[in-house]
Amino acid sequence: MTTTRTVKDKTAIVGVAVSEFSRDSGRTEYSLAAQVVRDAVVDSGLSFDEIDGIVKDISDGIDPMYLQKAVGIEHAQFASDSHWGTSAIVSGITAVAAGICKNVVYYRSVNGASKRRAGNDFRAAKEMQDESLDLLRYDFYSPFGLLTPSGMAALCARRYLHRYGVDMSDLAWIPAVASEYAAANPRSAFFEKPMSFEECADSPAEVDPLRAVDCAPDVDGAVALVITSAERAKDLPHPPAIVMAAAQATSTEGELFSSFNRPDITGLPEMKLMGDELFRVAGVQRSDVKAAQFDDRFSFLVAMQLEELGYCERGDGGAFCAKGERIRRDGDLPLNTNGGFLGEGFLYGANVIEAVRQIRGTSSSQVENADLVLVASGAGGPADGLLLRR
Amino acid sequence: MTSSYDPTRDVPRPARWEVLYRSSGPFWDGVASGKLLLQRCASCARWLTPPRPMCPGCQSREHEWVQSTGRGTVHSFATYRHAPHPAFPAPHSVVLVELEEGPRLVSSLVGIAPENIAVGQAVEVVFTHAADDFTLFQFKPAA
Ligand SMILES: [Zn+2]
C-alpha cells in the first residue's frame, strides 16, 4: 500500500518501440529484443549510458545480462524478472520512484507464432509439454487433455455464461470491435478488414465455448519501453506518459488460467484488488478515464475486467460492449484501440505501448483528449495495471 | 517400466513433481488402487485441492488423505474441436467436476457425447486403465 502511494506522479514512460508483428519473424527472440530496446532508448532521448535498470517478464526467454551485452548497457543497478502480465513495468516504475535506479528499460520478445511458445495454439500441445510455466498442469490437467490456456479459459468462460445466463454471441461485440481497431492499425498482421458482429457470432467454436475469434493469435514480435523520473522526463523529446498509479495484485487459490478451486471461477478477484488500488492511489474516478487497454488474450476476459474494474455489474460486461458503441473511439470507454491482443497478437507490453500512444496522440485510432488512460494486464493470473496521464 | 510410453502419442502421464507438489504422489497412488483420495488439513479440516505442503487456513503441515465418494456435479466443461494431442481425438471434452465434498477436479467424461454434457449434471467416478501401467480417474453420468 505504501509503495503505490509513493509512486504517484513520480515517474513517466518516455520511450517506446515495437518490432514488426508477424507470423514468422525469421529472427531470434534475442535479436528482436536487442532491436526494440535500442529503438526505445533512442525514442526516449536518453543516452545508453543513462540506462541503469532492466526489467522483463519471467516468461520471456532473454536474460537481462545477455540483453545488456548486446545493446551496450554498461552498468545496471536494478534488474527484475517479474511475475506475469506487465508487472515487470510496475517493478521498474517502483525502482525509479524509490531511487534504486534512474532509468529503466522493459522488454518482451516472443516468437509466439513460429515457435508456438506459451501460446493459445491448441494444435501445439507437444510444444506446450515442453513449457514449464505452470507445473500443476502436468500433474492434474495434461492427463485429461487439458493442455492449453484456451482450454482452461474455456472452462471459466462456460461457467460464466451459465451463471449469468448469457451466451457467446452476447460477447461477440468484443472481437468485432477489436477487429475494427486492428484493421485501422497498420501493425496488425491479422486483420486487413474488420469482422462484423455476425461473422464473429457465427464463427465456429475452437475450444467450445470459445471461438477462434475469442482467442488472441500467437505472434512473433517484441516491444520495449523506457521509464524515467517525472523530473527527467521534462527535458526529453516526447510528451511523457506520467504514471499516476501502478499496482499489482494476486489472490488466493490462484493459477494461470486454472484457478478452479476458487469459490467463484467467473471473476478475477486480483483484478478488482488491483483496480481499486489504482483508482485509490490516483484519486480519479472511473469516468475520468478517456481510453483503456484491457487484457484480451481471450475475449470474455474483457467482460470480466469491465466488471472487476468497476465499469459495470457482474455479468453485464457483454452488455456493456453491445453494438460496440461504448468501446469504439467515440464512446464512453474506447477500449483496446490498437485491436488489443485479439488484433495485434498476444504480446504483453504492446498494451502499455498503445496507452502511451494515446497519451502522446499518435494512436492509429486516436481518442480526442486522451489525457488519462487505464491499462490492465494479467487477466487470469497475477494482475497489474497503470493509470497514465498527460 | 514405462519404456514404451511416448508422450507425443500416449495419454500424458501425471508428472508427480515431488519437489513442488510432494503430495500429488499419494493422490495418484490412490487412483492406481481405484480410490479418489483428497488431501485434507488434519488440524482444521480444510480441503487442500490441488495438494500442497501446508494448509493456507492454519499453516499446519499435518494432513490426511480422505476417500471421496466420487460423486459430484459438472461445474463446467469445454470441448476441443481440434485434437489438442494425438491421444485425445476431437471432439474432446474436458470437465471440471465439483465433488460433493467440495473440491473440484479436472477430468474427462465417459459414456456421454459432448453435445449432451450439461452444467449441473450429476456424475460419478470411474477408473480407466489408460495403459498397462497407468490408471486414470474419469466420470460418467450418475445412475
Ligand atoms: Zn488447516
Q: Is the peptide bond before B50 cis (omega within 30 degrees of 0)?
A: yes
Q: Which three cell numbers stand for residue A354?
A: 498503445
- C-alpha dist (Å) from residue A112 to A26, A303, A346, B3, B17: 12, 25, 8, 32, 27
Q: What is the Cα–Cα distance from B120 to A152, expressed in whole angstroms?
A: 18
Q: Which of A79, A99, A102 has its CA nearest to residue A91? A: A79
Domains (ranges, CATH) in chain B? 14-67 (no CATH), 69-143 (2.40.50.840)
Q: How far is CA A45 from CA A71, A145, B2, B35, in A?
A: 16, 50, 59, 65
Query: Touching check for B70 and chain A: CB below 8 Å?
Result: no
For residue A203, report the phi and psi dihedrals to the nearest 5 degrees. -75, 150
Give me the DSSP letters along A268-305.
-HHHHHHHHHHHHHHT--GGG--EEE---SBHHHHHHH
Distance from CA of A268 to the nearest CA of B (A): 17
Which residues of chain A make contact with B15, given a CB cutoff of 8 A? 135, 138-139, 142
Per-residue pLDDT of chain B (143 residues; tens, 9 = 90+): 445 777 778 888 887 655 445 568 889 999 999 999 999 999 999 999 988 888 999 999 999 999 999 999 999 999 999 998 889 999 999 999 999 999 999 999 999 999 999 999 999 999 999 888 889 999 999 98
Q: Answer for the pair A283, A365: CB distance below 8 angstroms, yes or no.
A: no
Enumerate domains of chain A plus CATH numbers: 2-116+223-232 (3.40.47.10), 148-213+242-389 (3.40.47.10)
Q: What share of chain B is helix, strand, coil (3-state, %, to 5)?
A: 10, 35, 55
Chain A residue nearest residue B93, CA to CA: A145
B39 CA distance to ligand 1 middle (Å): 11
ipTM over 0.90: yes
**Chosen from B18, B20, B74, B76 to mutate, greatest number of chain A CBs within 10 A:** B76
Give tens-digit pLDDT for A48-83: 999 999 999 877 778 888 899 999 998 999 998 887
Q: Pick the closest to residue B105 from B129, B141, B78, B138 (CA basis).
A: B138
**CB count in 10 Å sphere of residue A162:** 18
**Structure confidence by residue, pLDDT tens digits, A126-177:** 344 444 334 567 788 989 999 889 999 999 999 999 999 999 999 999 999 9
CB burial class (10 A; 0-12, 13-18, 19+) of residue A100? middle
Report yes or no: A42 and A278 within 8 Å, Cβ to Cβ: no
Surface of A (124-163) touching B: CB under 8 A: 125-126, 129, 135-136, 138-148, 151, 154-159, 162
Q: Could you report how far apart the first and last alpha carbons of chain B are, in Å? A: 36
For B49, nearest residue in chain A (alpha carbons): A261
Give me Rg for the CA atoms of chain B. Answer: 16
> Which residues 232-261 of A are in CB contact (within 8 Å) with B?
252, 258, 260-261
